[in-house]
Amino acid sequence: MTLLEICPSLRAGMSSPRLDSGVWPCDTHYDDLGRVTLGGVALSDVADQYGTPTYVLDESEVRRRCRAYRKHFPDAEIIYAAKALMIRSVAAWVAEEGLSVDVCSAGELTIALAAGVDPRRIVLHGSGKPFAELEAAVAAGVGRIVVDSLTEITLLAALATRPQQVLLRLSPDIDVHGHPAVRTGVTDQKFGFPLGSAQATEAVERILRQPMLHLVGLHCHLGSQIHDADFYGEAVRRMIAEMARIRREHGIRLPQLDLGGGHAVAYRGGDPEMSLPVLADIVEDALDAACSLHHFPRPRIAVEPGRAIVARAGVTLYRVMTVKHVQGGHTYVIVDGGMNDNPRVALYGARYDAVLVNRHPTGARMTATVAGRYCEAGDILAHDVILPADLRPGEVLAVPCTGAYHHSLASSYNGVGRPPIVAVTEGRSRPLIRRETPADLLARDLG
Ligand code: LLP
């Protein structure tokens, strides 16, 4: 099924070179003035009302993505990886759509609980969980804790006064060839235990010796931006073989297999992305084959998408501050945001598009580099994008596909506070997170 079939409204956008149906939210249109609208709201009106830079979030798109996961994985548990974007509204939306929530700190746990997420549907992750965070999680009654080290087993055993379900994180030695910063399925990295290693066996034994710790399954996370579903098929085969070995050696049958997240989204038109129907088929086939090979009863599968739920629902708005044509060099469009609200370009070499949204450009176009306002030469938002040649200061640019790992990675470098998040849906906008102000910066500064 193509995206155009899922969201026919995109057809309008297809007629213009400005919007690529692969990266914008489904409910993106033009109004009569040629302005780009999202969720029925003109983006330039959002910029006028809330200032810039501003993260805009399309609630319907978040819900649509949750439903797509539930449709394609009807028997699986879908766990939203909150690190992609954790604010109360998003936690509430995904919970309403039937998803569980994965948190990786006491802060994310607090937000999930404040949003009303049932603690039993919360999974706690982390490679170095502080004692106080484990304590908070156990006290809150979180459903499962993913054990990442031997130390953690000792701490949890000391903390749990009632049965606590745990998953054991293993690295199945699958190299998805991603950016080194986000390649987690290989053996030599900091997360979990290498599958088949003596430490993994020791971890299983230690958990089983603790009466309050109930080992309910295995977990793995292969990495980020994975578009080839075969990697997950291979993970299923290796993890089921390990579950069969644990049954043989320890006499317990684990009922859950969590395959982590990492499903790719397209940041620019033409980028490869994970196909949910293909992923579902491959996981299903691998599960059938591996379970029958090992005569192992099918565990319940869990997947942990973060980016694939929220990335496309987000668009960031910037105002053009100035346009500089460097003689013999590039044309720089300098905007009022940058690496504080989007560090992904500097961190991972991510590539984005940028589009003028306050009018429909009809004249000549230019190739430009959209650069930020911060005091670093590497503060770039988008390389080599096509923009109108008559672009002027004060106009509004939007960068699509910024819903995941933007707000959650944002900083207040150079004393510039983090942008607000404004939700748009059914023709209305409402602020979910307010802009961080100099007063907020001063409030933490004890002098
Ligand atoms: N589960 C676990 C255990 C994870 O560590 C992660 C992401 C996920 C699920 C969700 O992965 P997703 O579906 O969102 O790819 N800051 C980087 C991404 C770091 C991801 C870390 N772990 C970025 O901006 O690309």
Single pTM value for the model: 0.95
CB distance 385 to 367 below 8 Å: yes
* Residue 403, ligand 1, Cβ within 6 A: no
Active-site residue set:
375
Quote the CA–CA distance of 71 and 435 in Å, as a whole number: 36
Residues written for the chain: 447
- Indicate which residue's Cα is closest to atom 21 of ligand 1: 182
CB distance 173 to 191 below 8 Å: no
* Residue 304, ligand 1, Cβ within 6 A: yes
Find the 72 Cα to ligand 1 centroid distance in Å.
Answer: 21
Position 17 scores a pLDDT of 53
Spatial CA neighbour of 38 closest among 46, 387, 49, 97: 46
Quote the CA–CA distance of 149 and 87 in Å, as a whole number: 28
For the CA of 264, the closest atom of ligand 1 is 15
* Residue 61, ligand 1, Cβ within 6 A: no
Rg, the chain, Cα only: 23
Find the 246 Cα to ligand 1 centroid distance in Å.
Answer: 28
The answer to whether the annotation marks 8 as part of a ligand binding site is no
Cβ neighbours for 16, distance < 8 A, ≥ 6 positions apart = 30, 360
Position 5 scores a pLDDT of 46
Position 178 scores a pLDDT of 73
Quote the CA–CA distance of 154 and 407 in Å, as a whole number: 35
Joined together, the tokens standing for residue 64 give: 């649509």
Q: 59-72 and 88-96 are packed helices; what angle lies between their axes, rounded to 10 degrees?
A: 40
* Residue 344, ligand 1, Cβ within 6 A: yes
For the CA of 179, the closest atom of ligand 1 is 25
The answer to whether the annotation marks 305 as part of a ligand binding site is yes
* Residue 35, ligand 1, Cβ within 6 A: no
* pLDDT tens, residue order, the chain (447 aa): 444 444 544 444 444 457 888 899 999 999 999 999 999 999 999 999 999 999 999 999 999 999 999 999 999 999 999 999 999 999 999 999 999 999 999 999 999 999 999 999 999 999 999 999 999 999 999 999 999 999 999 999 999 999 999 999 999 999 897 776 666 767 777 889 999 999 999 999 999 999 999 999 999 999 999 999 999 999 999 999 999 999 999 999 999 999 999 999 999 999 999 999 999 999 999 999 999 999 999 999 999 999 999 999 999 999 999 999 999 999 999 999 999 999 999 999 999 999 999 999 989 999 999 999 999 999 999 999 999 999 999 999 999 999 999 999 999 999 999 999 999 999 999 999 999 999 999 999 999
The answer to whether the annotation marks 80 as part of a ligand binding site is no
Position 113 scores a pLDDT of 98
Cβ neighbours for 170, distance < 8 A, ≥ 6 positions apart = 192, 193, 194, 195, 200, 218, 219, 220, 239, 242
> Backbone phi, then psi, for 428, in 5-degree steps?
-125, 150
* Residue 126, ligand 1, Cβ within 6 A: no
Quote the CA–CA distance of 77 and 303 in Å, as a whole number: 7
CA distances from 150 to 106, 199, 306 (A): 20, 8, 27
CA distances from 178 to 40, 234, 262, 277, 387 (A): 36, 17, 10, 22, 30
The answer to whether the annotation marks 183 as part of a ligand binding site is no
The answer to whether the annotation marks 403 as part of a ligand binding site is no
Residue with tokens 């292969």: 222
* Residue 305, ligand 1, Cβ within 6 A: yes
- Domains along the chain? 3-58+313-443 (2.40.37.10), 73-309 (3.20.20.10)
The answer to whether the annotation marks 22 as part of a ligand binding site is no
- Indicate which residue's Cα is closest to atom 12 of ligand 1: 262
Position 323 scores a pLDDT of 98
- Indicate which residue's Cα is closest to atom 15 of ligand 1: 262
pLDDT digits (tens, 9 = 90+) for 207-260: 999 999 999 999 999 999 999 999 999 999 999 999 999 999 999 999 999 999
Task: Give the mutation target among 65, 189, 304, 316 for probing the ligand 1 site: most ligand atoms within 8 A of CB.
Answer: 304
- Indicate which residue's Cα is closest to atom 24 of ligand 1: 405
Find the 262 Cα to ligand 1 centroid distance in Å.
Answer: 6
Find the 329 Cα to ligand 1 centroid distance in Å.
Answer: 36
